Amino acid sequence: MDTTALRLAYEKFFEVAAAPDLGEALDGGWNADQVLAHMLSVDAATAAVVLGVVSGARPTFDNRICLDRWNLDRIIAEHPGRTALIARVRDQAAILCDIADRLTEQAAAVLVPSFLMSNDELLLDQPVPLADLVNGLASGHVPLHTQQLLDLRRPVRA
């Protein structure tokens, strides 16, 4: 697999995540640390699926644990601040990209039963090729959360 697009999406994400002016969501949604914890959880879960396919297992992908506020708070508590959390997410994203880069065409084509939710809405409940699961991060997931972080920027006061 070629993860160039995914790596580029992550670079933009990390650039925005490092901004000092990220506040709280006005709509009661996730703050920046919760977005970062979610990304870490999704990346680790996706990497586990990739490694499962390579090992010959029949893994599934279910993102509900990656949305659970208790789990996100647990991940945040394991890091001594946003800088450390960003570094951990960056490391996990690199691990995911590195193992995905090594997938054969046959492994990338393996159908993975997938269950995806967002904001209490079912997005997907069907098998998808492993490559689509990984590429979906680049085309949708990472840019969506990059925008979510951009929306947390506090207005500059004159």
| pTM for the full predicted model | 0.95
**4-150 CATH fold:** Four Helix Bundle (Hemerythrin (Met), subunit A) (1.20.120)
| Paired strand residues for 118 | 121
* Cα–chain center distance at 157: 32
- Consecutive sets of 10 residues in the chain, 158 residues long: mean pLDDT of each? 97 96 88 97 98 96 97 97 97 98 97 95 97 97 97 74
Amino acid at 82: R
d(CA 127, CA 12): 29
d(CA 98, CA 108): 14
> Which has the closest alpha carbon to 108: 55, 42, 54, 45?
54
Predicted local confidence at residue 147, as pLDDT: 96
Instruction: Enumerate the domain spans of the chain.
Output: 4-150
Q: What is the separation, in whole angstroms, between the first and last Cα of the chain?
A: 48
